């Protein structure tokens, strides 16, 4: 009987040990994961922006410490024993008061944290993470070398500038509505060039070079351009039933957006606004790309792709459409319409890469050519296209013939010029003197200054 009691006691003790072990192993009170630590900066710190440190733990954080250590000193920036443990902590750690005079180029930020788990003999799980930072308190240097004297509403300009910073990260030119113009490396290391564009729909324009380094230091340089206001025509156009039952009805059969829509006025509104927006979105996307290889020159000939052509519609025309006295739609004409003979040859005076050669809704058959430096041209309503996407075309090569494909009432060419996705006045690029003053001379002047430096 005594032997049985001993066996039972031993078995009971084993059950207690196993049960206790299983409880400890599976219980959340004894979780074994150390707190997770993350920080908002990588590698560089300007000692101006606060550190944002996140500490997360399933059982709850009971204490933490943040230490800044340099070659000369060690300083505690944050320390706390929490009365109520928290599973998610976000610390905003300000730089020490001595940061402004600190001369060290490298420091370590040490983050220690312990949770409330009963693991490790009730002492909890602990973590210690060391983040190494390079200190950079100096803002990048940026200066304009040369730029066009003025820019007109709906027009273009050129700027060449220099950027200097050993920890350079990103830079761009910010225009209206946060539009970013991407500069291209120019001539010698550290110099950059970019065309700018003042959208015709905007009443004013401002362009600023913004430079950021890896530590978060920012420099801004305003580009000094004289702004020349230019007024554009506002056209009031009556929409006729003949037009709705003719051209609009034909187009409505073609576009997905108008399928199932029977009202002629609604068809017109959808085509003039929604389909147009879709077609222009493609044009803007294709014309926003700027290669990043270094260039030393940018030679452009005056543009006039249609020989002996007459202008039949101007750039920037704000068209407002009325039916029975009520305004039903509006749009902007963002190209120059040229007409000569039926199915006339289209011969650009500048070569380049064909980036699109297909049908594009309201624009009909439409080749698009890239000429360099973010400058693109489009040729709409063509009856036929003689080039393919990816082709390289030369000066005076026939790329297409005029026609009335898309949203065109008669045979003509819709000639458009774009700078990094923004339509600009083709008339400027058709003017030899304007190109000389605003493009060629600016580049020539910049090279002289760069060589002198």
pLDDT tens for each residue of 138-194: 999 999 999 999 999 999 999 999 999 999 999 999 999 999 999 999 999 999 999
Quote the tokens at residue 237: 């156009």
Residues, the chain: 453
Neighbours of 254 (CB within 10 A): 14
152 neighbors 419 (Cβ within 8 angstroms): no
Average pLDDT, the chain: 92
pLDDT of residue 122: 72
Give CA–CA dist 146/443, Å, rounded: 8
Give CA–CA dist 134/267, Å, rounded: 61
Q: DSSP class of residue 47?
A: S
Please count the CA atoms within 13 angstroms of the CA of 344 that sit on its side-chain side: 21
- Range with lowest mean pLDDT among 10-14, 88-92, 300-304, 365-369: 10-14
Q: What are phi and psi of 249, to 5 degrees?
A: -60, -40
Q: What are phi and psi of 338, to 5 degrees?
A: -120, 140
Please count the CA atoms within 13 angstroms of the CA of 136 that sit on its side-chain side: 21
Per-residue confidence band for 12, with pLDDT thresholds at 50, 70 and 90: low
Spatial strand order in the sheet of 317-323: 234-238, 317-323, 326-333
pLDDT of residue 30: 66
Per-residue confidence band for 23, with pLDDT thresholds at 50, 70 and 90: very low
Quote the tokens at residue 48: 């101006």
Q: Residue 15 pLDDT more than 60? A: no
Q: Mean pLDDT over residues 387-414, rounded?
A: 97
CATH 2.60.40.10, the chain: domain bounds: 29-135, 141-230
Q: Cα–Cα distances in Å, from 68 out to 50, 51, 74, 109, 116?
A: 13, 11, 6, 5, 25
Q: Which residues lie across from 156 on neighbouring strands? A: 197
Q: Is 172 helix (H, G, I), strand (E, B) or coil?
A: strand
Give CA–CA dist 285/332, Å, rounded: 18
Q: Residue 16 pLDDT more than 70? A: no
Per-residue confidence band for 28, with pLDDT thresholds at 50, 70 and 90: low
208 neighbors 174 (Cβ within 8 angstroms): yes
Q: Cα–Cα distances in Å, from 83 out to 61, 63, 86, 118?
A: 10, 9, 9, 16
- Range with lowest mean pLDDT among 107-121, 141-155, 415-429: 107-121
CATH 2.70.70.10, the chain: domain bounds: 234-425
pLDDT of residue 26: 46
Tokens 């300083």 belong to residue: 75
Per-residue confidence band for 97, with pLDDT thresholds at 50, 70 and 90: confident
Contacts of residue 284, Cβ cutoff 8 Å, sequence gap at least 6 = 418, 421, 422
Per-residue confidence band for 342, with pLDDT thresholds at 50, 70 and 90: very high
Neighbours of 265 (CB within 10 A): 17
Tokens 């493009």 belong to residue: 439
Fold of 141-230: Immunoglobulin-like (2.60.40)
356 neighbors 366 (Cβ within 8 angstroms): yes
Give CA–CA dist 219/256, Å, rounded: 47
Contacts of residue 321, Cβ cutoff 8 Å, sequence gap at least 6 = 237, 238, 239, 268, 272, 327, 328, 329, 330, 331
* Tens-digit pLDDT profile for residues 281-292: 999 999 999 999
254 neighbors 175 (Cβ within 8 angstroms): no
Q: Is 383 helix (H, G, I), strand (E, B) or coil?
A: coil
Beta strand pairing status for 326-333 and 234-238? unpaired
181 neighbors 217 (Cβ within 8 angstroms): no
Per-residue confidence band for 50, with pLDDT thresholds at 50, 70 and 90: very high
Contacts of residue 19, Cβ cutoff 8 Å, sequence gap at least 6 = none
Q: Is 93 helix (H, G, I), strand (E, B) or coil?
A: strand
pLDDT of residue 102: 81
* Tens-digit pLDDT profile for residues 58-78: 899 999 999 999 888 899 999
Q: How far is CA 141 from the centre of its chain?
A: 23
Q: Which residue has the higher pLDDT, 27 or 39?
A: 39
pLDDT of residue 31: 85
Q: Which CATH superfamily is domain 29-135 in?
A: Immunoglobulins (2.60.40.10)
pLDDT of residue 73: 85
* Tens-digit pLDDT profile for residues 345-383: 999 999 999 999 999 999 999 999 999 999 999 999 999
Per-residue confidence band for 27, with pLDDT thresholds at 50, 70 and 90: very low
Q: DSSP class of residue 295?
A: B
* Tens-digit pLDDT profile for residues 222-278: 999 999 999 999 999 999 999 999 999 999 999 999 999 999 999 999 999 999 999
Fold of 234-425: Glucose Permease (Domain IIA) (2.70.70)
């Amino acid at each position: 009987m005594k032997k049985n009691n001993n066996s039972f006691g031993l078995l009971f003790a084993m059950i207690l040990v196993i049960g206790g072990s299983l409880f400890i192993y599976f219980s959340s009170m004894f979780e074994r994961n150390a707190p997770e630590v993350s920080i908002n900066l990588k590698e560089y710190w300007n000692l101006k922006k606060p550190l944002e440190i996140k500490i997360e733990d399933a059982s709850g954080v009971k204490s933490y410490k943040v230490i800044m250590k340099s070659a000369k000193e060690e300083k505690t920036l944050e320390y706390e024993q929490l009365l109520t443990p928290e599973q998610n902590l976000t610390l905003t750690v300000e730089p020490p008061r001595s940061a402004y005079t600190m001369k060290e180029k490298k420091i370590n930020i040490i983050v220690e944290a312990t949770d409330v788990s009963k693991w490790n003999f009730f002492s909890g799980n602990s973590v210690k993470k060391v983040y190494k930072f390079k200190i950079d308190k100096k803002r990048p240097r940026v200066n304009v070398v040369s730029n066009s004297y003025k820019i007109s509403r709906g027009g273009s300009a050129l700027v060449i500038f220099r950027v200097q910073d050993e920890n350079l990260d990103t830079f761009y030119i910010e225009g209206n509505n946060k539009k970013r113009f991407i500069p291209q490396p120019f001539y010698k290391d550290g110099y950059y060039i970019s065309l700018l564009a003042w959208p015709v729909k905007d009443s004013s324009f401002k362009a600023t070079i913004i430079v950021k380094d890896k530590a978060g230091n920012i420099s801004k340089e305003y580009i000094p351009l004289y702004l020349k206001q230019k007024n554009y025509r506002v056209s009031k156009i009556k929409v006729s039933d003949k037009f709705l039952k003719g051209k609009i009805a034909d187009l409505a059969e073609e576009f997905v957006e108008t399928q199932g829509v029977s009202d002629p006025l609604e068809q017109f509104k959808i085509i003039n606004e929604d389909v147009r927006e879709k077609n222009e979105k493609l044009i803007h996307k294709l014309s926003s790309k700027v290669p990043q290889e270094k260039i030393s020159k940018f030679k452009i000939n005056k543009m006039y792709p249609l020989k002996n052509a007459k202008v039949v519609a101007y750039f920037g025309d704000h068209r407002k459409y009325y039916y029975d006295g009520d305004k039903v739609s509006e749009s902007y004409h963002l190209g120059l319409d040229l007409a000569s003979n039926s199915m006339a040859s289209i011969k650009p005076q500048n070569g380049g890469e064909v980036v699109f050669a297909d049908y594009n809704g309201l624009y009909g058959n439409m080749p698009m050519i890239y000429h360099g430096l973010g400058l693109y041209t489009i040729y709409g309503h063509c009856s036929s296209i003689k080039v393919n996407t990816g082709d390289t075309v030369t000066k005076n090569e026939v790329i297409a013939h005029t026609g009335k494909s898309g949203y065109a009432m008669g045979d003509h060419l819709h000639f458009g010029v774009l700078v990094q996705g923004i339509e600009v006045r083709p008339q400027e690029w058709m003017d030899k003197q304007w190109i000389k003053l605003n493009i060629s001379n600016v580049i020539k002047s910049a090279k002289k200054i760069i060589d002198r430096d």
